[in-house]
A and B are shown apart, each in its own frame.
Chain A
C-alpha cells in the first residue's frame, strides 16, 4: 500500500503472528470454562491475519494463506447446523448438546462436549466473514 520502510512492523509480525494465533486457539478451547470461546477466538485469529495484511500487502497474504474465506463461512455454518442436526438423529430436540468426561494420558480428566463442534462452526464463520469483508474491500482499490 504505502512505500514506507516497515521492516520493524514486518519483523515483529513474523513473531507475534504465531503467538496471537496460538492464543486465539487457546481462547477457543478454554471458552467453556474461562473467558473465551469461538466468537472471540475467531475474531482474534482474524485480527492476526489483519495484522499480516497491514505489515505486508494483500497479494503476499493471499500467497501465504491461499484460503477461500467464502468457503470457510459455508464450512462453519455446516459445522454448527450439523451439530444441531446430530441431536435430531439421536432423537433429541434440535441443538441439544451432549458431553462426557474422559481420562486421557498426560492431560488427565478432560471433557468432551459437542458444544465444541458447534463453537468450531462459529469460529470458522467469524474468520470467514471478517476476512471476506476485509479482503473484498481491500481488493477493490
Chain B
C-alpha cells in the first residue's frame, strides 16, 4: 500500500469518522473537519505535475484478487492527474462554500459530508485506477453517492424523483459498461487499461470489438448526460447547490468524458466511435443550449447549459480521434480538437463552478431561483454580479476570458472535421461547424438571459420571500477564486499549456507522441481574420438579435408536444415496468409457503435430475460397503415411523414433537457413525428449533384437514416422492463413483502441521474454510435482522391501523 493508495482511500476513511466528529463537536460546523483533506490532497497531487509534464507516469500496485487479474492498480498520467486536481481543487472550494450554505442547526450535516466524502474518494478512484474492474467499482460508487446527495432533502417529492431517475439511468449505463469491460477482457485477457492500450492495434478485427465499444459508450453517455440520456441532469438539480456545483457540473458528469478520453487509444480506430462520440456530442450541444433558453429556473438553465457544454467536449474528443488515423501530426490540425477538449474541460469547471455558486448565493439570499421573480439585483449584490458577469461572458465565449479561447479552438476543430476525408466526413462533415455554430448562438442567448434577467431590470421585492443582501464572505470566496481563474487562464493560457494540457493529450493520444517529447500546445487570442473569428462575431450579433426578439420566436418551443418528450417516455416506461412486474409477481407469489415449497422442490428435482442424466452420473456399486448393524436398523425404523406419523398427526403439537423425534434420531445416527461434532450440533439445533416451533405454535391457525383438492395433493405426493428418490440416487451415486481424489487426505495431513489444531472439523471451520464461515455468520446475522425487521414492522403497522 503506497501513499497514492492512501490518498485515494483517505476520503473514505474520513467518511467513517465524520458521524463521530459530528456528535462529539456539535458546536463546530462539520465541514471544517473536512476542509483540510481536499486541500492537502490537492497540494499532494500538484507535485506530480513536474513528473507528468515530462511525459512520465507513476504506477503503484496493490494486490486485491490476483487470481482473477483484479488489482488495486493506480496510475497517474496527464489525464488522471488533471481530473484528480479538478476533483480535489473544486472539492476544497465546494466544501468551504457548503459550510456557509448549509446551516448547522437545520441540516443533517453528518450525512451530507459522509456522502460528499464517499463521492470524492470514489471519483479519485475512477480517474486514477488502471484496472477496469476497479474503475467500475468506483464508477458505481459515484452513482450511489450522487443518488444519496440528490435525495439529500428526501422529504421533497422532487428530490426523490430526481435521485431515482439519475440512479436508474447512470446505473443502467454502468451495467452496460461492465458488459463492455467483460467483452474487452474476452478479447485481451487482461483488466489492465495500460496493457489493453498496448495491444489495441489487434482488437478491431474481433467481432466483439463493436459490441464492447457500444457498451462503453452507453456507460459514458449516461454518466455525462448525453442526448437522449440527458434527462436525469435537470432533475438532479434538486440537490443542494454545492452538490450541483461539484458533482453535476465540475466532476461526476465529466466521468463519462474521462472514460471516452481514456478509451480513445483503444476504440478510436473505428469509424463508429468517431461518428457516435462526435455526432451524439454535437446533438447534445445543440439540444442542451436550445432547451436552456426556455428555462425559467436559474439552476435549470445551468443544468441544460452543462449538458450542452458536455456535449461540446464530447464532440471535440470524437473529432480528435481522427488524429489517430494520420501519422503526421506536427501541424496539429486534428489534435487541436483534443487540445480544445482538455482546455475547455478546465475552463468549464472554473466558469460553471463559479456560476453555480453565484446562483446558490442568489437562491440563499433571495429565497428563489425563478428569473420571473428576480431582477435588479446588480446594486444589491455587486460582488455576486461581478462573478456572474465573468462566468457568463466566459461561457458565452467572449474575450478576454478563457471560454473565448476554447470556443475559438472548438470552431477550428469542427471546421477541420470535413477535411479529414475518411469515414464520409468529407460529405457530412460540414454539418459539424453548422450545428456547432447554431448551438453557440443559443448558448449566447441563455447566457444573456441568465445575466440580465437576474441582475438588471426592475427590482421586484414584492415577489421575494426575503430581503436580499450580499452573501457572507465565506460564500463569496470560492466563486471569487474560480472567477479569478477564469480571467487568469484567459489572459495567460500558457500557464496550462505545458503543465496540464499537453500531458493530458499525451494520455489520450499516446501513439502520436514520441518518448520524451511533448505535444506542442499553442493557444492564442488573435488568429487573424480566419473563419473562426467571423463565426464568433456572427454568434454575438445573431445572439443579441435573438435575445432582443425572444418573445416573438419562443413559440417554437410549443411545436414539440410535451407528451412526446424523453421525460414522458421515461415516466411512462417506468410506470409500465412497475405495473407489468407487479402483475407478473402476483401471478406466482400467492403468499402461501406451501406453494413456494412446491416451486423450490420442483426446481430441485428438475435441475438435479437433469444434471444426473446429463453427466451420466447414476451409478450403483455395492463393493465397498460396511455391514448394516442392529442399532442402525432400529434408528431407521424410528425415523421412518415418526416421519409417517407426522402425516397423520391431528394437532400441530404432535407434529412438532414427532419432527423433533426425527431430528434427535438423526443425531443418534451421527453418534454411532462417530461424528461427535455433528451429533452435538444436531442435538442442540434440534432443541433450539423445537422450542422455537413451540413459540410460533401459538401464532399458527388450527390444522385443517380438508385443504385443497385431491389432485393438488397428488401433485404434492409426486414431488415428495421425487425429492426422496433424487436424494437417494445422489447419495448412492456419490458413494459409488469416485471422479477425483478426496480432499480429506489434505486435511488429515495439514490440520496439525499448518493450523496447529487437532479437531479437524473445527480447524476447517475456522481456518481452512474460514472465509465460508465468515460469510455464513454474515448471512445468519442478516437473516436475524430480517426477521426482526419484518416482525417489528408488522407490529408497528398494526398499531397505527
Q: Which residue numbers of A lie inside 8 Å of B, CB to CB?
A: 27, 31-40, 43-44, 46-47, 50, 53-54, 70, 73-74, 76-77, 80-81, 84, 94-95, 97, 99, 111, 113, 115, 118-119, 121-122, 125-126, 128-130, 132-134, 136-138, 140-141
Contacts and interface: CB of A to CB of B under 8 A. Distances in A.
Interface in B752-777: 755-759, 761-763, 765-767, 770-771, 773-774, 777
A46 B687 CA distance: 10
Nearest to A131: B784
A80 to B, nearest CB: 5
A37 B771 contact: no
Given A95-B770, A140-B791, A77 B781 contact: yes
Chain B interface: which size bin? Answer: 35 or more
Contacts of B680: 27, 35-36, 40
Interface stretch (B165-173, B301-309, B649-657, B689-697): B689-697
Contacts of A39: 681, 765
Given A37-B759, A133-B692, A84 B791 contact: no
25 contacts: A32-B756, A33-B757, A33-B758, A34-B758, A35-B759, A36-B759, A37-B765, A37-B766, A38-B766, A50-B688, A50-B691, A70-B785, A73-B785, A77-B777, A81-B774, A95-B771, A97-B767, A99-B755, A115-B757, A119-B766, A128-B784, A129-B780, A129-B783, A137-B696, A140-B791
Contacts of B766: 31-32, 37-38, 97, 115, 118-119, 122
Interface in B240-272: none
B759 A136 contact: no
**Most chain B CB atoms below 10 A, which of A37, A50, A118:** A37
A76 B780 CA distance: 11
Contacts of A138: 695
A81 B778 CA distance: 10
Nearest to B680: A40
Contacts of B763: 32, 115
B610 interface: no
Contacts of A44: 684
B784 A34 contact: no
B712 interface: no
A interface majority secondary structure? helix
Nearest to B765: A37
B685 interface: yes
Nearest to A37: B762
A46 B794 CA distance: 26
B781 A128 contact: yes
Given A84-B770, A121-B777, A137 B692 contact: yes
B574 interface: no
Nearest to B754: A97
B721 interface: no
A41 to B, nearest CB: 10
A20 B68 CA distance: 47
B788 interface: yes
Contacts of A94: 771
Given A32-B757, A37-B766, A141-B698, A80 B783 contact: no
Contacts of B780: 73, 125-126, 129
